[in-house]
Amino acid sequence: MTTPSAPEDRLPERPEPGLFSAENLAKLEGIAGLEGQEMSPSDFARALGRDLSNLYRELGEGQKCRIHVFDMATRSDTIIAEFDDVLFEAPNWGPDGDMLYLNGKGGLWAFPLDSPSEPRRIEYEGISAALNNDHVLDPRGKAIFLSAMDGHIYHGALDGGSTRRITDEDKVWHFLHGVSPDGNTLGFIRISAMGGPGKLAFIASEGGRITPMETGEGHADGIEWTPDGEWIYFNTERWASQPGHAQLARVPSKEPVVDKIERLISTDTVDWFPHFAPDGRYAVYLQYPAGTEGHPENLDVELVVVDTADWSAPVARRPLFGGQGTINVNSWSPDSQRFAFVTYPLETGE
């Protein structure tokens, strides 16, 4: 999959591994001999000359990582922390309301809201690969589901320690995005080859058989249940008139079949990652410019906040420089009043 070129004064784009082909990986990294190949997570790491524990994003020269909190009452955000040494991604808001959890440098980090500039790396046992930006809280307690760069999904406590691997398939990418409100089912993106489109799939949170969901042609991603469990929301290219034209959709959770899929709105933009507030009143999603393919990093994008009763009339927009890592997973506060996101400005940027 070819991604749009960045302006000369901006950093080159590097989409997440599951969303571009071996041929384009070869072009991006200057590696010969990958054209037409399917690549497992281990194959991908070897092609880059790195091991799985080092497959994580890093800041470019002159780039910063800023963590923001958006307040629904004021329709504005505050920068709560800034870093120039580690690229952090994809906030989750902890169940007690006093902690954020983001991945960075291959691990998961805890950010106390009373001292967010002093994060603590959480140590896990049983995961040798780097963690990526697809991690979702377990609604049943103080635990989290984690996606790693070995392609698997794991479960562990929020304070670290031992983990349990949930997926069994090797040589397949599993990118977690959703957990049912009862915590019994996981929704993830299954990618069997570097060049293949992602498909939605389900697995019990205790592991076992994988159930795929047919969504039509093109890539599908960003699967998430509504707080009441009645609907599953996601983004899909099934209506795309050109490559990459993702749109928001939903399907009944009790009957997740292709002929029950509903399109939420029709836009020229490329729309990803719908995330619901816990009370279900508001949602936020990430909007890329028309013509974008995948969900790359380092672009001018917008966060769009909507009242879920009418997705066609945004209640707030927040332009920013970022994309990949900004809001890949649900980051709403437990009281539904705030959400967290990340921007990646350059020295001359915002």
**Domain limits of the chain?**
17-343
Please write the tens of the pLDDT for every residue from 117-139. Answer: 999 999 999 999 999 999 999 99
Matching residue, tokens 């013509």: 291
Tell whether domain 17-343 is in CATH 2.30.42.10: no
Handedness of CA 315, 321, 326, 331 (dihedral sign): negative
Tell whether the model's pLDDT for residue 4 goes beyond 70: no
Task: Name the 3-class secondary structure at 175.
Answer: strand
- Spatial neighbors of 164 by CB under 8 A, at least 6 apart, are 126, 154, 155, 156, 207
Query: Which of 136, 69, 74, 118 shows the shortest CA–CA distance to 342?
Result: 69
In a 13 Å sphere around the CA of 242, the CA atoms on its Cβ side amount to 10
Please write the tens of the pLDDT for every residue from 167-223. Answer: 998 888 899 999 999 999 999 999 875 557 889 999 999 999 999 999 999 999 999
Please write the tens of the pLDDT for every residue from 72-113. Answer: 999 999 999 999 999 999 999 999 999 999 999 999 999 999
pTM above 0.85? yes
Tally of residues, the chain: 350
Between helices 22-29 and 41-48, what is the axis angle to 10°? 20
The amino acid occupying position 193 is A
Task: Name the 3-class secondary structure at 22.
Answer: helix
